[in-house]
Amino acid sequence: MAYKDIIYEKADGIATITFNRPEKLNAITQLMRHEILDALRDANQDDAVRVVVFAGAGTRGFCAGADISSESTGSEGPRNLLPRDSFQEAFARIMWDLPKPTLASVNGAAAGLGMAMAVSCDIRIASTAAKFATAFSRISLVPEACMTFFLPRIIGLARAADILYTGRVVDAQEAAQMGLVNKVVPPEQLAEATGEMARTLARGAPIALQLIRRELYRGLEGTFGSQLEMELYHQKYAGLSEDSKEGPRAFREKREPLFQGR
């Protein structure tokens, strides 16, 4: 599929989805919605892809949320108030089930749906120019893409309530202090810091990383007993892989392991 509003690249085990409307702070159009989901499904199905990175083109915005100017005005007639299979639902479900680590490289404004997509990622690296905001409460709407599930689990209920109730802007420094982002770097170092993390993940043992990600996310809604059982099962499963033998072998031979995902 040829893309217009995103750039989709795959190299060295890393799939990068770049929102590509820098003149609009990478605000999301209907076309971009379709393209993001298509790229995500491709990355999910491609065994050569080991990590997925989200980024925004330009220097001013990761994603400023939905492009209101490109949205339907509602003049087409009444709509179902409980839509199914919307972009927000499809994106959230894909991100929840995706068996590969995900990384957001936040280079500017991450607002509304843009912030929701960043929050859906496992790891967030931000530039000092990054700003996070949810204005839903200010326009009588509610968060989307399951932000109300992820955000409290990342930064705590009280902080999430503060941000979501007020719709205020959180800068990069505060985001780092509250644990919303994993690392903050100067804007000119963001691409390299993101690439370094992505390469580290891509070189990791893919079977182990997939199982760890599943454990982490199932643990958000599981019990002690179910989590312990899952870990015991996964440990035995991972131990049967060729990669589980390559790790100790590389350690003995004093070299970097070469994991094949088998």
Indicate whether 262 belongs to any domain: no
Q: What is the CATH number of the domain that holds 240?
A: 1.10.12
Indicate whether 128 belongs to any domain: yes
Same domain, 166 and 224: no
State pLDDT tens for residues 202-228. 999 999 999 999 999 999 998 999 999
Same domain, 91 and 213: no
Is the distance from CB of 17 to CB of 8 less than 8 angstroms? yes
Same domain, 185 and 218: no
In this prediction the pTM is 0.91
Same domain, 191 and 221: no
Domain that holds residue 149: 6-73+83-203
51-56 vs 61-63, strand pairing mode: unpaired
* Whole-number pLDDT of residue 68: 75
169 φ, ψ to 5°? Answer: -90, 135
Q: What is the CATH number of the domain that holds 197?
A: 3.90.226.10
Written as six digits, the tokens of 6 are 């995103």
* Whole-number pLDDT of residue 73: 42
Same domain, 130 and 91: yes
Query: What is the count of structural domains for the chain?
Result: 2
Same domain, 229 and 162: no
Which of the residues in the chain have pLDDT under 70?
70-85
Indicate whether 78 belongs to any domain: no
- The Cα–Cα gap between 88 and 143 comes to 10
Same domain, 89 and 196: yes
| CB neighbour burial string for 56-66, b if at least 16 within 10 angstroms, e if fewer | bbbebbbbbbb
- The Cα–Cα gap between 149 and 105 comes to 21
Indicate whether 147 belongs to any domain: yes
Same domain, 191 and 210: no
State pLDDT tens for residues 69-102. 765 544 444 455 555 558 999 999 999 999 999 9
The set of residues, in sequence order, having a beta carbon less than 8 Å from that of 230 and lying 6+ positions away, is 214, 215, 218, 222
Which of 81, 79, 87, 145 minimizes the C-alpha distance to 112? Answer: 145
* Whole-number pLDDT of residue 78: 47
| CB neighbour burial string for 72-95, b if at least 16 within 10 angstroms, e if fewer | eeeeeeeeeeeeeeebbebbbebb
Same domain, 245 and 131: no
Angle between helices 206-219 and 243-252 (to 10 degrees): 120
* CA angle, 162 then 165 then 169, to 5°: 65
Indicate whether 40 belongs to any domain: yes
Written as six digits, the tokens of 146 are 């399951």
Indicate whether 257 belongs to any domain: no
Same domain, 244 and 178: no
Which of 43, 45, 46 minimizes the C-alpha distance to 54? Answer: 43
Same domain, 100 and 148: yes
Indicate whether 260 belongs to any domain: no
- The Cα–Cα gap between 66 and 30 comes to 9
* Whole-number pLDDT of residue 83: 52
* Whole-number pLDDT of residue 226: 93
Same domain, 104 and 218: no
Which of 171, 188, 180 minimizes the C-alpha distance to 133? Answer: 171
Burial class (CB in 10 A: 0-12, 13-18, 19+), 104: buried
